[in-house]
Amino acid sequence: MGQVRTKWLVALGSLGLIAATAYAAEPVSALKGHDSNQPVDVAADRIEVQDRADRAIFAGNVHVTQGQLSLDAARLTVAYSSSGGIQIQRLDASGGVVVRSPSETARGNFGIYDLDRKLITLVGAVRLERGGSHVMGSRLVIDLTSGRAVIDGGSPGVGSSGGRVTGRFTVPQRS
């Protein structure tokens, strides 16, 4: 009984470590230390500037890049401060949001990139992929300072995870 319990604890500990770090091959997100002060480039089919509200709305095939980070969505609202020049504070994306780094791809229905807090949050049918592995849930938060990625399962019926975090991890081929 003790040996079976030990194997389960080791297996659960390993799975928890893999899930907590998003994948074992690289212990942290490739976005760890991402410089949110870099210029943000945006391309879209249409832009509407609401200067009095300090925001701009981009619609249609939106593509955003900042260093090695890219974001694609159907619609993007850029919140900015106009005191002392335009300073982007937050990006709110909707419609098939895809965030890419050199080694990861994250998908969700909605996304928020808070440049001041250095957090990227995706909600709704979230899927984080690295290599041949993936984790799914209802909400993903990536801390750009630490590289830590956390996925929550959410309420049953929300997104595609059924209220739980699920994943599939590749393993090295053994002989």
Which pairing describes strands 104-114 and 87-100: parallel, antiparallel, or unpaired?
antiparallel
Tens of pLDDT, residue by residue over 93-152, are 999 999 999 889 999 999 999 999 999 999 999 999 998 899 999 999 999 999 899 999
| Domain membership flag for residue 175 | no
The count of domains in the chain is 1
Query: Is there a domain that residue 128 lies in?
Result: yes
- Assigned domain for 151 exists: yes
Instruction: Decide if 45 is inside a domain.
Output: yes
Q: Does a structural domain hold residue 123?
A: yes
Asked whether residue 173 is domain-assigned, the answer is: no
Q: pTM of the predicted model, to two decimals?
A: 0.78
Position 58 in a domain: yes
pLDDT for residue 156: 59
What's 137's domain CATH number?
2.60.450.10
Q: Which domain holds residue 132?
A: 2-168
φ/ψ of residue 173, rounded to 5:
-75, 125
Query: Which tokens belong to 50?
Result: 């609401």
Determine the pLDDT at residue 138. 95
Q: Which residues contact 80 (CB under 8 A, 6 or more apart)?
A: 54, 55, 56, 86, 87, 88, 89
Mean pLDDT, rounded, of the chain: 82
- Asked whether residue 174 is domain-assigned, the answer is no
